[in-house]
Amino acid sequence: MILAVISYQLGTRRALDPEQWERIRQEWEQKRDQWMGREADIARREGAMKRKEDEWQSKQEEERTIRDSFRWANLTPSTQCTRYGVREYTATFFPGYSWLSHSEKLTSCSNTEAVVMGHNYPKPDYCQFQNNQYIGHWSVGDLPDCKTYFEWFKDRGCVAPGSPLRRYEAHLGTQRPEDDGQIMCDTTPALLKGKSFDKPDSCAHWSEGWWGIFFIEDAGCQNLQVQS
């Protein structure tokens, strides 16, 4: 548009009177100023976007540097199994920078990955501040020394005449004294009469230790008649 105006001006200059020429010159200068203003506005916006991008990259680099300073140490297994096949492990979290706030350290502890017993964990189950330290907690499963099993299955007969259920009892084997017997019994699976149980129907502690109680449907029990 500006080139067209200039061309028009040059081509018709001799035919224009001074007033017309001045008006065209002013219009051209106005358009030039508008164009330069738009260019300056674009430059300002691009500069602001570049500054924001630089700030974001700087922040990302700072966060990466902080994350690289995080580390776990003193991985320690619990002396107890928390349930069937599972033991809790703890480790001390070192945030690397002392100037981080307590909240930032606790949040970082709760979101820092770790390798525990050969397994990669994106983050701990939870973190806590204890004895002036940040401690991460993991529940690690499929541990052989935490796997109890049921043995000595005993058929205790039908629950009651007319009931479709037969009762079985089984002793909890390899239950360690330092573990919570109730929890271990409540979470130990079993295979009985071809049926898989994720856990017993109930548990009881008798003289020989913990026992799981299982109920299985039995048509023979249901056919029993109540004696008068």
Buried b (16+ CB within 10 A) or exposed e, 127-148: beeeeeebbbebbbeeeeebbb
Same domain, 74 and 60: no
- pLDDT higher for 63 or 109? 109
According to the model, what pLDDT value does residue 171 have? 96
Domain-located, residue 154:
yes
Domain-located, residue 185:
yes
pLDDT tens for 155-213 read 999 988 778 999 999 999 988 889 999 999 999 999 999 999 999 999 999 988 999 99
Same domain, 75 and 50: no
Question: Which of 33, 48, 66 is the last residue before a domain boundary?
Answer: 66
Domain-located, residue 190:
yes
Same domain, 140 and 73: yes
Instruction: Work out the average pLDDT over 103-113.
Output: 89
Same domain, 10 and 27: yes
Same domain, 74 and 127: yes
According to the model, what pLDDT value does residue 137 have? 96
Amino acid identity at 128: Q
Domain-located, residue 122:
yes
Same domain, 87 and 21: no
Q: Is-contact 13 36, C-beta < 8 A? A: no
According to the model, what pLDDT value does residue 96 have? 67
According to the model, what pLDDT value does residue 62 have? 57
Domain-located, residue 228:
no
In which domain, by residue range, is 39 found? 2-66
Count of domains forming the chain: 3
Instruction: Work out the average pLDDT over 104-123.
Output: 89
Same domain, 186 and 127: no
- pLDDT higher for 154 or 100? 154
pLDDT tens for 25-67 read 777 877 777 787 787 778 788 777 877 776 676 566 655 555 5
Same domain, 173 and 192: yes
Question: Which of 50, 66, 82 is the last residue before a domain boundary?
Answer: 66
Question: Which of 66, 89, 111 is the last residue before a domain boundary?
Answer: 66
Q: What percent of the chain has pLDDT over 70?
A: 82
Same domain, 200 and 153: yes
- pLDDT higher for 74 or 27? 74
Alpha-carbon torsion angle 24, 25, 27, 31, nearest 10: 130
- Report how far residue 80's alpha carbon sits from residue 82's, in angstroms, rounded to the nearest whole number: 6
According to the model, what pLDDT value does residue 2 have? 46
According to the model, what pLDDT value does residue 83 have? 96
